[in-house]
Amino acid sequence: NVTITINGNQYAVPSDLTVLEAARTVGIDIPTLCFLKDINEVGACRVCVVEVEGARALQASCVLPVREGMVVKTNNQRVRNARKTTVELILANHNRECTTCVRSKNCELQSVSEELGIRDIRYTGAKREGKYDNFSHSIVRDSSKCILCGRCVSACKNVQGIGILDFVNRGFETTVGPAFEVSMKDAPCIYCGQCMVVCPVGALTEKPAIDKVWDALEDPKKHVIVQSAPAVRAALGEEFGYPIGTNVTGKLASALRNLGFDKIFDTNWAADVTIMEEGTELLGRLQNGGKLPMITSCSPGWVRFIEFNYPDLLDHLSSCKSPQNMFGALAKSYYAEKNNIDPKDIFVVSVMPCTSKKSEIERPELAVEGVRDVDVSITTRELARMIKEARMEFDKLEDGTFDPFMGDYSGAGVIFGATGGVMEAAIRTVADVLTGEDLENVDYTAVRGVEGIKEATVNIAGKDIKVAVAHNTKNAAIILDKIRAGEADYHFVEIMACPGGCVNGGGQPIQPASVRNVIDIRAERAKALYSEDAALTVRKSHKNPEIKRLYDEYLGEPNSHKAHDLLHTHYYA
Ligand code: HC0
Ligand code: SF4
């Protein structure tokens, strides 16, 4: 410990803290704008400055280590004035169209300027000319709102290990974007959206698609089906004031019902289908000397990552479409046939925690006979906006249920939304198949949790199955390098592009740094899924009666010819 004086009081604090952390541990808050714990600790914005006795200039507290005997003032007039000047200068060069900005009321610049009591901006002058790029299907980049905090740069480079975004140009023209400011459409960006969820302002946002959904709902000729991804229910509540980690499945169903969809179904059901297809594919590869390890293919950001960076390893990917697209393909074939509806009149909307899904649905091969699997994909955040626009009082909604048929799911389908969930779901089914039993233990805890890479050996019917789970693409690269070097003896690998898996996807509600710095939102949201799984009676995909029916009445066997036509795909080097 060291002794440090903050605002006239002495405190003993651990010696490895920064002044910012030390102050916060003793209940003294210092405002920040660029700081994001473990991700962006660079002292760029200087909103967190403090006065340190003996130092002439004010110091950025987020990168200033505590020292024995240090005397710090965090909130005198000099400090406050400096912070105001800093924020005013940022605002002077910021496109302040708050009333129409999608981040209004969830903007850290707005909050800090309000907290500092900024009422007018003393600096006027040239504004940097912004670049507006909405050419990709996933991301809109509006550099007129960028405040150069560097968080997106750090998230992309240090968390994801990718490095699409960086500071470009010089001096007054400095901005953040892809090299040469090419469109995000033309950069090898995986559209994971991890840059978006750390952006404190509206410089990086999802490509909006709500209008297409409203239009479809108004169109009497369209039969509009919605599917909601596993992780949506673990986070949607945050948009309506619920604590992080609250499961809102029932209210989600009611909200979708009120919006007027013809059917409200669940991607979880398709996740169960995926387990049947992918599990069977794995057993086939194990028995027939196929390419191992087999790697999951459901996270579209991850698929883009391997296509761009490890094209030589593409034959390790499962040929399964993602549950999102399996759902769409089956809605427009199985459901259409059972209900006598022309597939061309069916409009499938997906609600996803993901921004990469918006691009996935546009992949040319993800259609059956010219009919797109999925027509529109919106994020959890966009669904929240629709609910608000429809003026529903979310907290007053009764708990509803999804429609039967493609809305019935097992616990295995639910946990897909957390890192390790697909693996656990697969093991539950593969273990039953290999042993020929209905195994009682379904909790494979070794693959749960937020550790970056998890490895486990599961003994099934006397055979050791070696598995690995990685989340975020930096960890994925570690596994891929091992495979490439011939040093990996896994049979099956799960990879999700986002840290924590889909619960922390780029389309989820955005929590400000003040929350992210103290709460592991990945772990909290994952708990919401594991508890729903534990509460369900059917927890294995192959035990879901609606899955049995799908195969009995329509597909035949998993990996059948028909299943291949509808549910499997290919990749591009
Ligand atoms: Fe996921 Fe999925 S689990 S990728 O994270 O597999 O987005 O939630 O919908 O498709 O099911 C996202 C979440 C999905 C898919 C499923 C998979
Ligand atoms: Fe990087 Fe992902 Fe953002 Fe693309 S979407 S710039 S890969 S963090």
Q: How confident is the model at residue 109 (pLDDT cuts 50, 70, 90)?
A: very high
Atom of ligand 1 nearest to the CA of 496: 5
Q: What angle do CA 474, 475, 476 make, to 5 degrees?
A: 90
Task: Look over the chain and give the mean of its residue pLDDT values, rounded to a whole number.
Answer: 97
Pairing type for strands 263-266 and 294-295 reads unpaired
Per-residue pLDDT tens for 515-547? Answer: 999 999 999 999 999 999 999 999 999 999 999
Percent of the chain whose predicted confidence (pLDDT) is above 90: 97
- Indicate whether 160 pLDDT > 80: yes
- Indicate whether 504 pLDDT > 80: yes
* Phi, psi (rounded to 5 degrees) for 471: -130, 150
Q: Number of structural domains, the chain?
A: 3
Supply the residue whose CA is at minimum distance from atom 4 of ligand 1: 299
Residues 12 and 83 in one domain: yes
Q: What angle do CA 277, 337, 560 make, to 5 degrees?
A: 25
Residues 483 and 358 in one domain: yes
As a whole number of Å, the CA-based R_g of the chain is 25
Residues 186 and 199 in one domain: yes
Give distance in angstroms: CA of 15 to centre of ligand 1: 43
Q: How confident is the model at residue 92 (pLDDT cuts 50, 70, 90)?
A: very high
Find all residues with CB under 8 Å of 189, minimum gap 6, and list them. 136, 139, 162, 164, 178, 304
Q: Show the 3-state SS of 344-391.
A: HHEEEEEEECCCHHHHHCCCCCCEECCEECCCEEEEHHHHHHHHHHCC
Average pLDDT over residues 281-293: 96
Q: How confident is the model at residue 424 (pLDDT cuts 50, 70, 90)?
A: very high
How much is the pTM? 0.97
| Exposed / middle / buried, residue 545 (Cβ in 10 Å: 0-12, 13-18, 19+) | exposed
- Indicate whether 73 pLDDT > 80: yes
Q: How confident is the model at residue 125 (pLDDT cuts 50, 70, 90)?
A: confident
Ligand 1, residues at Cβ distance < 6 Å: 229-231, 267, 271, 274, 298-299, 322-324, 352-354, 357, 416-417, 422, 496, 501-502, 505
Give distance in angstroms: CA of 299 to centre of ligand 1: 7
Residue 113 is assigned to a structural domain of this protein: no
pLDDT of residue 291: 97
Atom of ligand 2 nearest to the CA of 178: 6
Q: Which ligand is nearest to the CA of 473?
A: 2
Q: Which helix (H) or strand (E) holds 429?
A: helix 421-435
Residue 95 is assigned to a structural domain of this protein: no
Residues 190 and 233 in one domain: no
**ipTM value of the model?**
0.93
pLDDT of residue 98: 95
Among 427, 420, 417, 437, CA closest to 505: 417
Residues 163 and 280 in one domain: no
Which domain covers residue 256, as residue numbers? 211-567
Give distance in angstroms: CA of 365 to centre of ligand 1: 19
Give distance in angstroms: CA of 232 to centre of ligand 1: 9
Average pLDDT over residues 50-73: 97
Give the residue, out of 416, 424, 498, 508, with the most ligand 1 atoms within 8 A of its beta carbon, to mutate for a pocket test. 416
| CB 300 near ligand 2, within 6 Å | no
Residues 224 and 195 in one domain: no
pLDDT of residue 123: 87
Q: Which ligand is nearest to the CA of 206?
A: 2
Amino acid at 323: P
Per-residue pLDDT tens for 210-258? Answer: 999 999 999 999 999 999 999 999 999 999 999 999 999 999 999 999 9
Average pLDDT over residues 60-83: 97
Amino acid at 62: C
Atom of ligand 1 nearest to the CA of 416: 3
Amino acid at 256: L
- Indicate whether 286 pLDDT > 80: yes
Among 193, 189, 186, CA closest to 155: 193
- Active site residues per annotation: 278, 281, 298, 318, 357, 360, 365, 502
Token output for 316: 């390790």
- Indicate whether 385 pLDDT > 90: yes
Residues 172 and 46 in one domain: no
Residue 429 is assigned to a structural domain of this protein: yes
Annotate 24-65 with DSSP letters as a single string.
HHTT-----SS-BTTTB----S-TTEEEETT-SS-EEGGG-B
Per-residue pLDDT tens for 483-500? Answer: 999 999 999 999 999 999
pLDDT of residue 543: 97
Residues 142 and 16 in one domain: no
Give distance in angstroms: CA of 92 to centre of ligand 1: 41
Q: How confident is the model at residue 299 (pLDDT cuts 50, 70, 90)?
A: very high
Q: What is the CATH number of the domain that holds 170?
A: 3.30.70.20
Residues 473 and 376 in one domain: yes
Residues 227 and 172 in one domain: no
